Structure 1
């Protein structure tokens, strides 16, 4: 029997409001192909799971790590997050399959005081990968945001969140890939598509980010977590859009420090040069907001 072409009367058609392929612009990730490409002997990555929807990949992977259900190099990816989180419990939302929402579990065998470099390392790795794989220049806003240009505007397209999990750390990355202007959660947000990325295929983007993350992590770990010897500090400074700008650090208790961001020190802190000639380092855990100074 010759099959009838799609749309022929009497032919059952898929429900456009349901099903994994209901949005052909945003196909699902290919978990099997991703595992084959990434989870291999001799690599960092030990497992990879893709779920349709969850509250937060960070929360889920942290719970698994604490229970001893996963080892270092576990990757958890969600097609949609209903309760994605950023720093200070800020929410992160996006339509299903419109971005990359994933977490990885790491057990760095370096001094714990150097673990604070992990979100900065993840930023460098992600920005490096996106510049190559997506063809979009990506900058870093200290401490954990990924920025792209949409027209003349600098907008946030991604963020990074790290959390302790038993003997290790869960690093979560959220990235807007194919969001259109009317889908943005706030006007200041962006996406790779709005930034002019020629393609929004998430599979190669995820592979590129994870391979870049593995390379930077292994170099940093091989240097004992030393950000200088691993060239991580240099790379972060080179890609950090915050440096050279006058910013206002909002601290708990409505305290503020305003100054020019002049460096990222060996502890990953942002160094602000104030008007009175004092250089004050500010740690990521010390601030509530980092904003452009008034008039900038």
Structure 2
């Protein structure tokens, strides 16, 4: 018997009520606000895939698509993202930064989403969320940092779709891997997805408006400083697994103005990582 079967069918778990789409729209969609629509669907393959298609069809900025269940959710490098129905928040947002923000700065959008989500989870759920460069959300479970969410950004034309997957009520037996976590396992004060989603979207709206008002400048908007303050990767000895099967080891010392991770490597050499997987090895202050 699967974990979901022990709690009834996947749609009848009383601990996992459905999202209230109408209440979410009333709370988030305003004439002068960023969010122009909030749609909740029962199930889809991937909210990012769906919203990218809508962006290509001319959908306006501020469209939000939420799924109670994703059957083909994707992380970076097309990795699968799976979770029981209604056990998490799976949603994508459509941004059109426009000419005001140079395209070279659009890469800050997933980092912005991470900063905003961490701030929202602290307020709404009472949990400290750390950021692992470039796109992971870490929660502390049983004294260990565990990946509990991820962010995926995809550009299409003049639009960027940013998707977030966040484990909310996953139980230990439901975790996809032992190193995963959830708000529930981290001792969150609530696992009610409605207020958590509202808090995250409001926080993203505030940071996005601040960032756009500064023409996407991560320093002037305060985004670069906020990301560094919440980034668990900085100050750690890490291994960067790079495209092409290459790797680099060093201390993560900064996130530069382009959102790249700066490594201090052997021999006083500095390197920058624009894309790749990061493995936290240990604190840089520890002995070799």
Give 4+ residue runs of structure 1 displaced > 2 Å after superposition.
16-20, 292-296
Superposed displacement of residue 166, structure 1: 2.9
Partner Cα separation in structure 1 for residue 103 and residue 278 of structure 2: 25
Structure 2 gaps of 5+ residues are 1-6
The 5 Å alignment of 1:77-156 reads 77-109=66-98, 110-156=101-147
Query: 2:207 — aligned with what?
Result: 216
Superposed displacement of residue 275, structure 1: 1.5
Partner Cα separation in structure 2 for residue 229 and residue 240 of structure 1: 19
Match of 1:270 among 261, 267, 275: 261
SS in 2 for 1:228: coil
Partner Cα separation in structure 2 for residue 84 and residue 222 of structure 1: 32
The 5 Å alignment of 1:45-84 reads 45-68=35-58, 70-84=59-73
Superposed displacement of residue 252, structure 1: 2.2
Query: 2:3 — aligned with what?
Result: none
Query: 1:293 — aligned with what?
Result: 281
Partner Cα separation in structure 2 for residue 52 and residue 188 of structure 1: 28
Partner Cα separation in structure 2 for residue 165 and residue 131 of structure 1: 32
Superposed displacement of residue 199, structure 1: 1.5
- CA RMSD for the aligned pairs? 1.4
Structure 1 gaps of 5+ residues are 1-15
Q: 1:18 to 1:151 in 2, by over 3 A?
A: closer
Partner Cα separation in structure 1 for residue 118 and residue 169 of structure 2: 17
> For 1:102-131, what per-residue CA distance to the aligned partner results, in whole angstroms no more than 9, with x for missing partners?
000000120000001011000000000001
TM-score by length of 1: 0.91
TM-score by length of 2: 0.93
The 5 Å alignment of 1:3-42 reads 17=8, 20=11, 22-42=12-32
